[in-house]
């Protein structure tokens, strides 16, 4: 099993793949391999971003329990 790279590295690799494919001078077999690698990197980046979003939208209350961040804002406004 391949080791996942961190978000910044995955994004940089994805940008490089897109740039190569946009140039249009990549042999078909290599283009397909690059495309598949790009899909894998894209999914990894999406997974990382979704996990970060989930973490950022929660807070820890006084009891050490997680709560949605929006709910806390609503309670403070009342």
Per-residue pLDDT tens for 38-77? 999 999 999 999 998 888 777 777 777 777 766 544 455 4
Give, in order, the Cα–Cα distances in Å from 74 to each of 22, 64, 69, 70, 78: 47, 19, 9, 6, 7
Q: E strand or H helix at 2, and its extent?
A: none
Q: Give residue for tokens 């690799």.
A: 13
- The pTM assigned to this predicted structure is 0.70
**Token pair 């990197």: residue:** 41
């Amino acid at each position: 099993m391949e080791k996942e790279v961190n978000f910044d590295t995955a994004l940089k690799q994805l940008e490089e793949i897109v740039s190569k494919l946009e140039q249009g001078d990549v042999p078909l077999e290599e283009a397909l391999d690059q495309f598949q690698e790009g899909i894998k990197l894209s999914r990894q980046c999406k997974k990382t971003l979704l996990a970060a979003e989930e973490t950022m939208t929660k807070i820890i209350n006084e009891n050490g329990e997680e709560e949605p961040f929006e709910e806390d804002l609503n309670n403070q406004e009342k």
